[in-house]
């Protein structure tokens, strides 16, 4: 009886792990909210965000295409996210940085969280992403709880303007 129960439990754990590992991140994602540590340079705080495009690659890796404004110019950047043995954990920039993707239960949204070194300093950042641009109050509340658990302050959360295409800022 114990062996049967153990087999059933291990089978369930394996099925849940497999389901989590096979999460489909591919497609278009909209940045709903962003939070950064207070020491994050102002130039890294984008006031507008274009959708993020994610392409699934062989072996579970992902290619993420982001477009942002830098020095009043639209810049497109592709980032390779390398799958690790831990579900939801990826390596980027040749393994130098870690990025975590965590689903917010029941919301259809994900939090992408990373620790980042910039000019010798450690910075933290999290983004709430969803499959459409509509506001989801429940997902935003879950995001607030998640990031407060990581040490962020609620007043540091901001909602960037959604743009279909990158638009340089006017001065």
Domain span at 157: 25-46+81-162
- pTM score, whole prediction: 0.77
For residue 82, what are its two tokens?
């390398």
- Least Cα distance to 125 among 74, 169, 66, 85 occurs for 66
Strands 157-158 and 121-130: unpaired
Q: What per-residue confidence (pLDDT) applies to 95?
A: 80
pLDDT of residue 38: 67
Residue 60 located in a structural domain: no
**pLDDT tens-digit series, residues 68-98:** 877 888 889 999 999 999 999 999 988 888 8
The CA distance from 32 to 131, in Å, is: 10
Q: pLDDT (tens digit, 9 = 90+) per residue, 93-151?
A: 888 888 999 999 888 999 999 877 767 777 789 999 999 989 899 999 999 999 999 98
How many whole angstroms separate alpha carbon 135 and alpha carbon 104? 15
Our count of domains for the chain comes to: 1
Residue 74 lies in a domain: no
- Backbone torsions φ then ψ of 158, nearest 5 degrees: -135, 155
Q: Identify whether 170 is part of a domain.
A: no
Residues sharing a CB contact under 8 Å with residue 53, sequence separation 6 or more, in sequence order = 27, 28, 29, 64, 65
CATH at residue 121: 2.40.128.20
Q: How far apart are CA 110 and CA 27, in angstroms?
A: 13
Distance of CA 115 to the CA centre of its chain: 12
Q: In this structure, is residue 55 part of a structural domain?
A: no
In a domain, 135, yes or no: yes
Q: What is the per-residue pLDDT across 92-104, written as a single tens digit (0 to 9) for each?
A: 988 888 899 999 9
The b/e string for 104-126 (b: 16+ C-beta within 10 A; e otherwise) is: beebebbbbbbebeeeeeebbbb
- Going by the DSSP 8-state scheme, the letter that residue 12 receives in this structure is H
- Residue 75 covered by a domain: no
SS3 letters across 62-125? EEEEEEEEECCEEEEEEEEEEECCCCCEEEECCCCEEEEEEEECCCCEEEEEEEEEECCEEEEE
Is 168 part of any domain?
no
**Within a domain: 152:** yes
């Amino acid at each position: 009886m114990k062996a049967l129960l153990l087999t059933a439990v291990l089978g369930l754990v394996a099925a849940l792990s497999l389901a989590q590992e096979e999460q489909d991140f591919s497609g278009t994602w909209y940045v709903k909210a962003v939070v950064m540590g207070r020491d994050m340079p102002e130039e890294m705080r984008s006031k507008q965000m274009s959708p993020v495009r994610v392409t699934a690659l062989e072996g579970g890796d992902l290619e993420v295409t982001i477009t942002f404004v830098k020095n009043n110019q639209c810049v497109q950047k592709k980032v390779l996210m390398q799958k690790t043995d831990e579900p939801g954990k990826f390596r980027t920039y040749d393994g130098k940085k870690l990025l975590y993707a965590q689903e917010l239960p029941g919301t259809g949204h994900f939090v992408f969280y990373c620790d980042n070194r910039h000019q010798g300093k450690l910075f933290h950042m999290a983004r709430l992403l969803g499959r459409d641009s509509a506001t989801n109050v429940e997902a935003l509340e879950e995001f607030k709880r998640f990031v407060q658990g990581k040490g962020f302050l609620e007043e540091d959360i901001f909602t960037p303007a959604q743009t279909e295409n990158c638009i340089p800022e006017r001065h």
